[in-house]
Amino acid sequence: MACQNVLVGLGAIAQDSSFDGLSVLAWQTCEVPHVATHEANRALAALTLCDAFARGGTMEIRFDRPAAIALDGRAIRYPGHPERRVPASLRRFGRTVGVTLGADDPAAISPREARELFMAVTPMPDDLRHRVRYAAERRGVTPERMCFSLLSQVWREIELDFLLATCDQAADVLSGGTDWTRRAQRQVESDVCRAALMAGMYYRRLNGRDSAAGDGDGARVVEDVSTGVGWRIEDWGTVTYTLPGPVLPPWAPPGHDLAPTARVAVVPRVHVTAPDVATCSSLPMRLGTFGRSFPSGV
């Protein structure tokens, strides 16, 4: 794992069928000036936990299992991680995020600890984190599934926030959707997913700052081109975007005479109904006329 051509982490992991979890042979991170403190451990932990979830195991991660590899016809044996327990750097990072690692077994991250660590290493806004915890406790959605969806970008943060806030079938959606034979319910889930994708598309369009035009110097910046737009999921599936300053939304038709604003309210819908129109009319920021540019309906 590298950042700006500087190695900040090295790891070697493999699935071990003897306990249906991950075995870690190597785990080494370092702190460098241009990376936040503990960020290497957070990133390497996120990669490891995503791999543990994707393999469908128990989420247990052990550091004391031996392994062997074949190289040029020779078997090379490794006794396991040199520390034979959860690495000190990873335990130190765990303490900074309130997760004690190696408490159940000093040589392993238990499934319970792995789920807590997964939540801690996954970046998400406070409102979304609250919804994720509520969904895990009350709606039967496993936290590791939601964390994996965010870290792998199967669903972006705003999209998952919209799903959890507006869809009672979020658990089914995140696990692949209702069985295809139940067409009516699957159609409802499909419509909510499409609306969530529209909300995400609008967010990226507002938050992006492409420097292709630049200031004439010919340099195009491709890193950190976000403008800092925030969002909040309101009642009736309304998404309110908070902009860093008064701007005219980029999807406004040419020559539109709407005054620039620092807040934009959007009601993403696949099929626009009379109640949706009434909802748009009741908003203090009436931007429904922009929907003429989108056949899917806004």
Q: Is residue 137 part of a domain?
A: no
Domain-embedded: residue 143:
no
| Beta carbons of 188 and 169 less than 8 angstroms apart | yes
pLDDT at position 292, please?
Answer: 32
Question: CA separation (Å) from 193 to 135, 239, 275, 294?
Answer: 17, 15, 20, 17
Higher pLDDT, 3 or 101: 101
Tell me what the mean pLDDT of segment 277-286 comes to. 70
Residue type, 251: W
| Residue 141 within any structural domain of the chain | no
Q: What is the pLDDT of residues 14-42, one digit of tens each?
A: 888 888 999 998 899 999 888 888 999 99
Rounded CA separation 6/31 (Å): 11
In a domain, 142, yes or no: no
CA distances for 281 relative to 147, 252, 289, angstroms: 36, 18, 10
Claim to verify: residue 186 and residue 250 sit in the same structural domain: yes
Q: Are residues 116 and 7 in the same domain?
A: yes
Split into its structural domains, the chain has a count of 2
Same domain, 21 and 91: yes
- In this prediction, what percent of the chain has a pLDDT beyond 70? 84
Closest among 239, 253, 230 to 283, alpha carbons compared? 239
Q: Which is it for the CA torsion 25, 30, 35, 37, positive or negative?
A: positive
Residue 163: predicted pLDDT:
92
Q: Which of 91, 121, 151 is the last residue of a domain?
A: 121
In 86-210 the beta strands, taken as DSSP E runs, fall at 108-109
Q: What average pLDDT does the segment 281-288 reach?
A: 58
Tell me which H or E stretch contains 50: helix 39-54
- Of 121, 136, 153, the residue at which a domain comes to its end is 121
Instruction: Quickly tell me which residue has 């790891």 as its tokens.
Output: 11
First to last CA, the chain: 41
Is residue 129 included in any domain, yes or no?
Answer: no
Highest mean pLDDT among 20-24, 80-84, 168-172: 20-24
Binned at pLDDT 50, 70 and 90, residue 224 comes out as low
pTM over 0.85: no
**pLDDT, position 47:** 94
Reported confidence tier of residue 289, pLDDT bands at 50, 70, 90: very low
More confident of the two residues 165 and 178: 165
Distance from C-alpha of 137 to C-alpha of 162, rounded to nearest angstrom: 18
Q: Is the pLDDT of residue 52 over 80?
A: yes
List the strands of the sheet with 61-62, edge to edge. Answer: 9-16, 21-29, 61-62, 108-109
Please give the pLDDT value at position 96.
94
Q: Lowest-confidence range among 114-118, 144-148, 216-220, 230-234?
A: 216-220
Q: Please tell me whether residues 248 and 188 are part of one structural domain.
A: yes
Which of 93, 121, 149 is the last residue before a domain boundary?
121
Phi, psi of 2 (to 5 degrees): -135, 155
Residues 31 and 102 placed together within one structural domain of the fold: yes
Residue whose C-alpha is closest to residue 58's, from 15, 101, 87, 94: 15
Residue 212 resides in a domain: yes
117 with 215, same domain?
no
Domain membership of residue 158 (yes or no) is no
Distance, in Å, from the CA atom of 45 to the CA atom of 121, rounded to the nearest integer, reads: 7
- Residue 29 in contact with residue 89, Cβ under 8 Å? yes
Q: Does residue 127 lie within any of the structural domains?
A: no
**Is the pLDDT reported for residue 196 higher than 90?**
yes
Range of 12's domain?
A: 2-121
Is pLDDT above 50 for 294? no
Distance CA 6, CA 145 (A): 31
